[in-house]
Amino acid sequence: MASTTTAGHSILETIKTIFWALLIAGVFRTLFFQPFWIPSGSMKETLLVGDFLFVNKMAYGYSYASCPSIRIGMIGLNIEADEICGFIDGDNTRILGGQPERGDVVVFRHPVNGTDYIKRLVGLPGDKLQMKDGVLQINGEAVGLVDDGEFSEVMERQGPQGNYPRCANDPVGQGGQCKKTRQIETLPGGTSHAILNISDQGSDHTGIYHVPEGHFFFMGDNRDNSADSRVNQAVGGVGYVPLENLIGRADRIMFSSAGRSMLFFWTWRGDRFFKAVE
């Protein structure tokens, strides 16, 4: 009887330990830092497929989007963030909110489907933006652009999705060098970063976007391979993103895997450990 009681006590203690560990991890993830793995190439070369980073949630304060969505397909579990933190949802506001700055790399929740996206903030409330011949115009002025050579990567499947990169020098065979033109873009306020271009396409020539109050305009650094605010939500883009949908700022890459899984440690990129996101 004593051994049975001891075994039962041991199981109970294990369950309590797991419960408290999960609770602490959940609070930490909700309030401070959220892990994020880059699944696509829309932010190259700033962020590569397979980069693993933590998102600073303290940077912009908290809203319903600060809570994680819980999706486990194999058991049919699908709990959205607003079902957990709906009590702080409303009127496009944040608690302890700090204002994002133009040029920040931000993780946000898609306004329609709730998926987490990561893009660069280029348009603030009240701004007018337009793409003219591939050059971003903000409030009637072209951003600074300086040609800066090429970005080159191997033509191979990337990340868990197994997608091939798009190349300016197509066609490129398996194992060949996939190239894109590279420029340094400087936004109003002085933030500079690399952008990539692949071809002349519709997203390089747009009408004028008027950013509503309380909303922001985002673009990917890989300009010709990004579904962002230039594309309406109804056709796969993100449109204007409300303040309350911001999750946090991407500050630093912890490590990066060039393989199909971040667990393949032998594919980790040695030059990206603790690399600042600029």
Hey, which residues are catalytic here? 42, 119
153: left (phi over 0), alpha (psi -120 to 50) or beta: beta
Contact 248, 47 (CB under 8 A): no
Beta strands in 57-163 (DSSP E): 70-72, 77-79, 105-109, 116-123, 128-132, 135-138, 141-142, 144-154
Helix or strand run (H / E) with residue 29:
helix 2-31
Residue 118 CB neighbour total at 10 angstroms: 24
My answer on whether omega of the bond before 278 falls inside 30° of 0, hence cis, is no
CA nearest to 58, candidates 89, 15, 29, 26 = 29
Structure tokens at 78: 């699908």
| DSSP letter (8 states) at residue 16 | H
Residue identified by tokens 């203690």 is: 13
Helix or strand run (H / E) with residue 82:
helix 81-85
d(C-alpha 25, C-alpha 47), whole Å:
26
Structure tokens at 225: 């391979």
My answer on whether omega of the bond before 165 falls inside 30° of 0, hence cis, is no
